[in-house]
Amino acid sequence: MILVKLREGQGSHQLQQFGNNAGCGTGNYAKAFVDMGVGQITILDASTGMLEKAKSKLADYMARGVVKEAIEAKMPPIPFPDESFDAVVFNLVLNHLDIDNPAFPNSVKTLKESVRILRPDGLIIISTVLTTTVSRIQWFSQLNMEITNRYNASVMPSLEQFEQMFEDAGIKCIQKINTLGADIIKNYYNLDDILDESLRAPRPYWTFATKEEVADVVQKVKALKAKGEYEKWVKEHDLTSTTGVVTIFFCKPN
Ligand SMILES: C[S@@+](CC[C@H](N)C(=O)[O-])C[C@H]1O[C@@H](n2cnc3c(N)ncnc32)[C@H](O)[C@@H]1O
């Protein structure tokens, strides 16, 4: 998570402009916020390893004081005083807070906390991948819908669930955008990786598949390849460049 303080005279519309220009979650968001000229940021993550990587990437910025702190903490709560930031940015984080809990209690509490630490007229920016994106936009998750439905039910909130979370947390979405392209998904167009267990296994999606389902997918891909139709099938089932992968919500407290 990134907590942003603006400079004197800057408005939250400038952060919306940033969101419109953003790529996706490569871990460089904090750097990009500073490079676009915000006053100061603080970063927070529950993982020591992630934070160490971020700190080494941002060492110069920390030395200059534009990245003020790198805090290790598990949300909720968010350990900062009331009204301390102009923007709170959740980049591909909210969907990790309530694994297998469709009531999303931790996400709602975390959003309420973000309202508490926001200054008046502050902005909450949430980027995510939606269930519909997983099931209709990415080519590989259309090979076996059983895996996809299980993956979605476990880790991805739908648009309707996000809207419910916003209502429960007392915030409203003022703009939503989709970013085009599959850059967020490493090796997205390495079509044969799917046939190699060592390349497939580290990807979170495949941890939701049974052995039989993996065998089914491998068999499907081999059959498409044998007919010379694999690339055509992928093209037909990949809408990332026209429909987008990452959805960004810009929200304000009610
Ligand atoms: C998919 S990564 C996104 C990382 C980063 N925001 C980016 O865009 O590159 C999800 C991050 O959420 C962090 N995370 C998961 N649960 C958390 C929690 N309860 N509190 C704080 N961070 C959490 C993980 O440690 C991980 O770094």
What is the 40 CA–ligand 1 centroid distance (Å)? 20
Q: Is residue 176 part of a domain?
A: yes
pLDDT tens across 40-89, in order?
A: 889 898 989 888 888 888 899 899 998 888 899 999 999 999 999 999 99
Average pLDDT over residues 161-172: 97
Q: Please give the pLDDT value at position 14.
A: 62
Average pLDDT over residues 6-15: 68
Q: Which of 4, 96, 186 to mutate to test the pocket of ligand 1 (most atoms within 8 A of CB)?
A: 96
Neighbours of 22 (CB within 10 A): 22
What is the 186 CA–ligand 1 centroid distance (Å)? 17
Instruction: Ligand 1: list residues with CB < 6 Å.
Output: 25, 27, 29, 45-47, 50, 74-75, 91-93, 96-97
What is the 83 CA–ligand 1 centroid distance (Å)? 23
What is the 126 CA–ligand 1 centroid distance (Å)? 12
DSSP state of 7: P
Quote the number of domains for the chain. 1
Task: Pick the atom of ligand 1 nearest to 50's CA.
Answer: 27
- For ligand 1, atom 25: residue with the closest CA: 47
Task: Pick the atom of ligand 1 nearest to 29's CA.
Answer: 8
Residue 14 φ/ψ, nearest 5 degrees: -70, -30
| CATH assignment at residue 26 | 3.40.50.150
Q: Is residue 229 part of a domain?
A: no
User: Which range among 9-18, 208-217, 234-243 shows the weakest confidence by mean pLDDT?
Assistant: 9-18
Q: Is residue 224 part of a domain?
A: no
pLDDT-derived band at 249 (thresholds 50, 70, 90) equals very high
Q: Which of 45, 114, 127 to mutate to test the pocket of ligand 1 (most atoms within 8 A of CB)?
A: 45
- Residue by residue, DSSP assigns 105-150 as HHHHHHHHHHHHHEEEEEEEEEEE--HHHHHHT-SGGGS-HHHHHH
Q: Is residue 217 part of a domain?
A: no
Q: Compute CA 66 distance to the chain's CA centroid, rounded to the nearest angstrom.
A: 24
Q: Is residue 24 part of a domain?
A: yes
Q: Is residue 175 part of a domain?
A: yes
Average pLDDT over residues 148-169: 94
* Residue 127 structural domain: 2-132+155-184+241-253
Q: Is residue 235 part of a domain?
A: no
Question: What's the start-to-end Cα distance of the chain, in Å?
Answer: 22
